[in-house]
A and B are shown apart, each in its own frame.
Chain A
Amino acid sequence: MSREAVLRKLEPIFRGVIDPDLVLSEELDASKVPLWDSLNHIILVVEIEMKLGVALTTDELANLRNVSELVTLLQEKGVQA
């Protein structure tokens, strides 16, 4: 799956958790999105695991604070369309 396709799959999840008007791009990270706090980060992880059917490891879960890395990881994990 292309990076763009992964991004499009992530966008509704981010919108549901963080901000309904958010436009997700690879440049975003937690420091640039005020509502991407530690609380919402946990919710994001849970939602991504559930909606995309992946399991993240403890390390992955801790370090995924920017969109670009998240996309790379999900690509590696072979998220299906």
Chain B
Amino acid sequence: MSIDGAQLQSLSARYVAAHTLQQLAACARDYEAAGAPLKPDWPKIRVALTGNYSTQFLARGFPIALAARDFAAEVYESPYNQWCAELLEAKSPLYGFAPTHVIVTLTSIELAYGSLRSPQAIVAAVAAAVEAALKTSDAQILVTLPEPLADEISDNSAAYAWRRAVNDGLRTALLAPRVTLFDPEPLVRSAGARSWFDDRFYETAKLPFHPDRTPALLGALADALVGAIAPRCKLVVVDLDDTLWGGRVGDDGFDGIDLDPAGRGRHFLRLQAFLQGLRGKGILLALASKNDPAAVQEVFAERPEMMLRPEDFAAMEIHWEPKSSSLARILDRFKLSTAGVVFLDDNPVERAEVQRRFPDIAVPELPEDPAQRVAMLARSGLFDHRLATGESRARNRMYAENQVRAAAQHDTGDYQEFLRGLKMVMEGSPLEAARERVSELIHKTNQFNLTTRRYNWTELIGLLRNGFGRCYRLTDRFGDNGIIGVVAVVRDSEADARVDLWLMSCRVLGRKVEEAILADVVARARALGARRLIGEYSPTAKNAPVANLYPRLGFTEISRSGASVRYALPLDDARVGASVEFIALTERGAPAEAEVG
């Protein structure tokens, strides 16, 4: 008999939710009753568990714990407190089991108060046993370090000094690449010593923790084991604006982004430090940001607070294309599969776009509040990478040095599907409808700003006496993006309507919003009887991203003066200004239906 996929899934879900020993035991029992899962693609591992306390609960739990992590495990459990004999004796039942993984789990209670006691004796005994295991078997070996006992009342206490001496000794002695060390300290600390320990159960059952702490320990050991088999994460692709710093460099400037360690910027720096730690463990980092590359270079050059440096990133995809294209290029460049790839972005739309094209990439939902992000990521289990070998650290450097830009094809059809799925609705209204936000955009927008004319409200009203102004609010299935676009159109002559002002929030770039806005403007200019729509582009230090906007929208160049360019679009051509099929245009206060003029 074997378990089917749905059963396994519900059992795994129950296992993950189990927080008492009874719940865990019930899952283990049901899993045993259902028989081994038939998952041919699961790696098969043979886990031998040996230690100096009662390990039955862990042994019972390992198969389901590893099944929940997509491993098919068979488990052998040594008799109570036989770890020395089992590991030292080449003909022991443990080696007879032919394990692929050996877990040596030792409690401080027995180490400190049993026969070994002194740190030197303990380190020598463990080192000898592990050395024998390395010689006798080719298994991976996971050794737990002694847990902090409740006696550690201060860093002055003898118990603390004892544990430090044992830890230091073991860390120095157990350096072989096949050996992984597991420190239960964070686990005990987060449970709290009071809730972790319960001496009654050690006295009666040789269980060195409260029985209900078993699921937590089991999960951590299974993670450590799986991490030692296959590092969970090999590449993190990360966004910049509002992810690695506060604000948007395109609008706020390199000197305006928030990296203040004494303020909100600290949360972004904390994420940088977290990523730096991952890189230290050999995980690749790459950037995917919708930005002007020059602006980003400026941040690296001018903001010494940046903890991550350009050389920390094996690849940088900084442009205005969809992030899924950036991911595709990065994967292609390093010949990586999507397994073990994590994408970090504060923007839910970018996350959805990447997730849609790459369902296997891990895309954690970063909390809105930057203060909560690192804690969330640390808890996520995505980064439990326990083998930091010299090779993986070197790999990072090698990738960074060999950075070659291989063009990857951007799958247009698929991207259109994504945009369709966003269910975008754009609501147009006169500028008065959002006066404050319009003023703010006029004064703050740098990147998507064709003319960068910083009008005040009076000037704007005067300008529009002979024309019209529009602002646009965009909502999608992820929520309200607020006012994301402003245009001011002036009637220069009987024939010509001129777009005097056009600016947009760069958060929505690449979503055909500019086409939808153009459709609205064209319809309105036609209604006024204009025969040409004139567009202007005046370059600034920041607005290179829209240098080609007008040609891209079908305008042709008509004149140049200095660096500024003028373009025209013939309105008598019926094909001009077509609406965007997947962005519904509505008028504020009007019923939701596509509006045509």
**Taking beta carbons and an 8 Å cutoff, which residues of A are in contact with B?**
16-17, 38-43, 45-47, 50, 56-58, 61-62
A64 (CB) vs chain B CBs: closest residue: B204
Interface residues of B in 174-211 (CB under 8 A from A): 199-201, 203-205, 207, 210-211
A39-B57, A46-B21 are contacts. A62–B211 as well, Cβ < 8 Å? no
B60 proximal to A (CB < 8 A): yes
Taking a contact as CB atoms under 8 Å apart, the answer to whether A57 and B200 are in contact is yes
Given known pairs A57-B200, A61-B200, the reply for A39 and B56 (CB within 8 Å) is yes
Instruction: Write out the residue numbers on chain A whose beta carbons fall within 8 Å of the beta carbon of B210.
Output: 46
A residues in contact with B22, CB < 8 Å: 16-17, 43, 46-47
- Contact partners of B205 in chain A: CB under 8 A: 38, 41-42
Q: Does B25 contact A (CB under 8 A)?
A: yes
| Contact between B199 and A58, CB atoms less than 8 A apart | yes
Does B131 have its Cβ within 8 Å of any Cβ on chain A? Answer: no
Shortest C-beta distance, B186 to chain A (Å), equals: 24
Known contacts A61-B200, A62-B203, A62-B204; 17 additional CB pairs below 8 A are A16-B22, A17-B22, A17-B25, A39-B25, A39-B57, A42-B201, A42-B205, A43-B21, A43-B22, A43-B25, A43-B211, A46-B22, A46-B212, A50-B20, A56-B200, A61-B201, A61-B204
Q: Which residues of B contact A40 (CB under 8 A)?
A: 25
Q: B8-28: contact bitstring with A at CB < 8 Å (1 yes, 0 no)?
A: 000000000000111001000
Q: Once bound together, how far apart are the Cα atoms of A55 and B212, in whole Å? A: 15
Q: List 21 A-B contacts (CB under 8 A).
A: A39-B25, A39-B57, A40-B25, A41-B205, A42-B21, A42-B57, A42-B205, A42-B207, A43-B22, A43-B25, A46-B20, A46-B21, A46-B210, A47-B22, A56-B200, A57-B200, A58-B199, A58-B204, A61-B201, A61-B204, A62-B204
Chain B residue with minimal CB distance to A41? Answer: B205
A residues within 8 A CB of B204? 58, 61-62
Question: In the bound complex, what is the Cα–Cα distance between A45 and B210 (angstroms)?
Answer: 11
Q: Is the CB of A46 within 8 A of B200?
A: no
Cα–Cα distance between A47 and B212 once the two chains are bound (Å): 10
Count of chain B residues near A, Cβ 8 A: 17
A44 to chain B minimum Cβ distance, whole angstroms, is 9
**Cα distance A38–B201 in the bound complex, in angstroms:** 11
User: Chain B: which residue is nearest A56 at the CB level?
Assistant: B200
Report Cα–Cα, A16/B204, bound state, in Å: 22
Query: In angstroms, how far is the closest chain B Cβ from the Cβ of A33?
Result: 15
Which single residue of chain A is at the shortest CB-CB distance from B25?
A: A43
Closest CB in chain B relative to A3 CB, distance in Å: 25
Chain B residues near A16 (CB-CB < 8 A): 22
Instruction: Report B-chain residues with C-beta under 8 Å of the C-beta of A56.
Output: 200
- Chain A residue, CB-CB nearest to B202: A58
Q: Which of B25, B57, B60, B200 is most buried by chain A, counting CB atoms within 10 A of its CB?
A: B200
Closest to B204 in A: A62
How long is the Cα–Cα vector from A56 to B203 in the complex, in angstroms? 13
- Give the distance to chain A from B580, nearest Cβ to Cβ, in Å: 59
Asked if B207 contacts A39 (CB within 8 A), the reply is no
Across the A-B interface, the 6 shortest Cβ-Cβ residue pairs: A62-B204, A58-B200, A58-B203, A43-B22, A46-B211, A42-B211
Give chain B residues whose Cβ lies under 8 Å from the Cβ of A62: 203-204
Q: How far is the CA of A59 from the CA of B211 in the complex (A)?
A: 17
Q: CB-nearest residue of chain A relative to B207?
A: A42
B196 to chain A, nearest CB (A): 14
Chain A proximity of B296: nearest CB distance (Å) = 55
B259 to chain A, nearest CB (A): 49
Which of A40, A41, A43, A58 has the most C-beta atoms of chain B within 10 angstroms of its own C-beta? Answer: A43
Measured CA separation A47–B210 after assembly (Å): 12
A42, B199: Cα distance in complex, Å: 13
Interface residues in B208-257 (C-beta closer than 8 Å to A): 210-212
In the docked arrangement, what's the CA distance between A38 and B205, Å? 8
Query: In the assembled complex, how far is the CB of residue B79 from the closest CB belonging to chain A, in whole angstroms?
Result: 14
Roughly how many angstroms separate A41 CA and B57 CA in the complex, as a whole number? 12
Kindly state the separation between the CA atoms of A41 and B21 in the bound complex, as whole angstroms: 11
For A39, the closest partner residue in chain B by CB is: B56
**How far is it, in angstroms, between the C-alpha of A61 and the C-alpha of B204 when the chains are bound?**
7
The interface residues of chain A lying within 8 Å CB-to-CB of B201 are: 42, 61
